[in-house]
Structure 1
Amino acid sequence: MTLSLLSPSGEVTRVELSEGASFARPSGPLRSRVAYAAAHVVPHAWADNTPGRPAEIDWDATLGFRRNVYRWGLGVADAMDTAQRNMGLDATAVRELIRRSAEVAREEGGSVVVGVNTDHVEEHSISLNEIIDAYKTQLHFAEEQGAIPVLMASRHLARTAQSASDYERVYNAVLAAGTVPVVLHWLGAAFDPELASYFGHADWREAAQVLLRIIEANPGRIVGVKMSLLDAESEVWVRERLPLGADGSGVRMFTGDDFNYVGLIGGADVPDAAQPARTEGARTHSDALLGAFAAITPVASAAIQALDAGDPDRYLALLGPTEELSRQVFAAPTYFYKTGVAFLAWLNGHQAAFQMVGGLHSARSLPHLSEIVRLANASRALENPELAAARWHALLDLNGVAR
């Protein structure tokens, strides 16, 4: 069977459809890495999924996707930017998503982390004290649901802060109010242009020093840092400087680098992919909190299982080819990556229609999606290749592409 592909010039070519991979689900928890897939939301196909309209979520499909992630041994990162926060998912839907997702995590025995932000406040600009209060409101709600909070970068804080000390003041106050350790999230401007110069500096080294001061000022209150700068050097630099206990505890680095995750996760355990530490006694690999892992869950699980089995070559053979796919999904403008994640979920049978809240399913071109199809086929990320081919060809037919 062949796949029809569409070039930017409108030319149609064909490649062989790869056979489906026979990955095995893990028999127990993954051991060598902590890994979360940042999951998306699925709307009802019949809903008013147009820009500016409230989200009408298909809860069966949305939560079913999360159950599938758990059964592959990964955790779920929910109500993050992958779930279209600030791009279609309104504050009411965010709270309901967190509540329902935390309930599913308890039922499945999985781990869930959820985004905490200030985005329920409708005013464009608010004071630092109001930002602190807004963070606390969402923080306490997440804690009440039994989820691990992820303190996301706040657009309100980026607008209001006048210096690095303002960031330290806000984060220290919010962390002091928490009752459970949290993950800090440093989201780069590629994902959200409003977050440029976050932590008070345009240079990542200076911004990283602010982040590290916040961590140092709050011992025991931070379990990890998720870095999404799409820059491996900056992540390794921060990772080497995170507090590390003698028993391996301390502050974890959760890579959010959807361009370079293979080497960052593999680290020193995978010599061909290693990012060697320069600091004695520092962490030598990153854990994972990735939107990419929502798109390639079975492959990601199989690769980490290979690390668990002491087989770095298989890890590289499985996960290595997916990085090119991820780079296509997250290509500039990067903030439209969510379209590719939902597209792959549709191809793989996790939702009935290629629909997204806010009309975001229209944010990528057919040739862009075609390249996702080609790379998913090449990297064994199509869970049911025949279904994926049928759905993709139907989309081409709908758009008048002669095959």
Structure 2
Amino acid sequence: MTARRKPFAAAVTGLGLVTAAGVGTKATWHSLTHDTVPGGVSHQDELADLPCDFMYTATDLDTTELLGVATQRLMDRFSQLAVIAAREAVGDAGLDPETWDRSRVAVVIGSAHGGLPFYDQQYAAMTGRGARRVSPKLAPLTVINSAASSVCMDLGAQGPSLGVATACSSGTVAVGTARQLLHAGVCDIAIAGGAESVLSRLLIASACQMKAVSTRRDDPATACRPFDVDRDGFVVGEGAGLLVLERPEDARARRAPIRAQIAGYGASSDAYGAVAPDPDGKGIEQALRTAMADADVQGRDVGHVNAHGTSTVVNDHIEAMMLQRVLGDHPLVTSTKAMTGHTLGAAGGIETVLTVLALEQQLVPPTANLTVPDPRIPIEVVRAEPRQAAFDCAVKTSLGFGGHNAALVLTRT
């Protein structure tokens, strides 16, 4: 018999965000709880001939101002977003990179596609002007781990660093992995989450062919509508969401406010298909039940779920049925993708930050654009207005292409 191990909770001491809803944690949260439509809607000229010609982007972001020209040139955009979010998170945690033990700082960042737009640019350069026009920076700027390495170089972190690639669950897996590193004692501080920026004609064309994205070109601001009866796909977004994690005793020793705790983590594989999730939701159910057992909580303890909620017909129904089966119909569920877009590998990081804020504020942001709830969905999805509520435990779920599932259980301190 395997002995039951004592639950371990990682303290969240810092948060950082860059999203289409706002640059910075405060701006994003204000938008999600006060605005009704996303502010970062942008039509893209290179997508003009596709059924979907729009994305949700961080239009308020000036990377040159924040990073400087020289630093900016050393990174693809997804790494730039990661560095900006990491700086905010570390500052929010009250940490000074000049004084911390560099060898004990880990960085774990997930991304589904890495520097795909730069691949597009370099392929165009090669086919249009020859192989000599291809940048020697192609490999180091575009690999999945370049966001983690960029953050390490920017902050001087010299502990373990990992690039996580599990499709749209990458950010969630990164947070869970960072918690495991802390528990194993291989680091004292972990910066974890996800980053993504995929303005790629090739990728969007493929998503259109897959019928995964919304084609509401005439009204892109309301195109992403999770759990709505009229939903027709997601809108691709860009962003980064990073958290600073520490052992609770270390955070208390330096008198750092603990904003929430990552109390449980679970992951699983559907072993079903390359795109569609298991139709019965068995994989994500396994991940969620594993996370709940890890945190030693029951379904009745969970008051809020930040769902994967992509706004696709298949995902939303499968996920909702699974949530009702595992948690019942009492948790307040939301999908924040209607405001941020589906940020793919960054989604889990961004949405974990938002779940921390919901716990901290005791406020659940609404699911924007949800006008007529799908009658087949048996859960309480918050819509129209943010909902004030008292809850000590929340859940974040993520599903990724290829059947990569992940779930986190977060608790108040």
User: What is the TM-score normalised by the length of structure 1?
Assistant: 0.29
When you count strand as a share of all residues, which structure comes out higher?
2
When you count helix as a share of all residues, which structure comes out higher?
1
The one of the two structures with greater contact order (alpha-carbon pairs below 8 A, sep at least 6) is 2
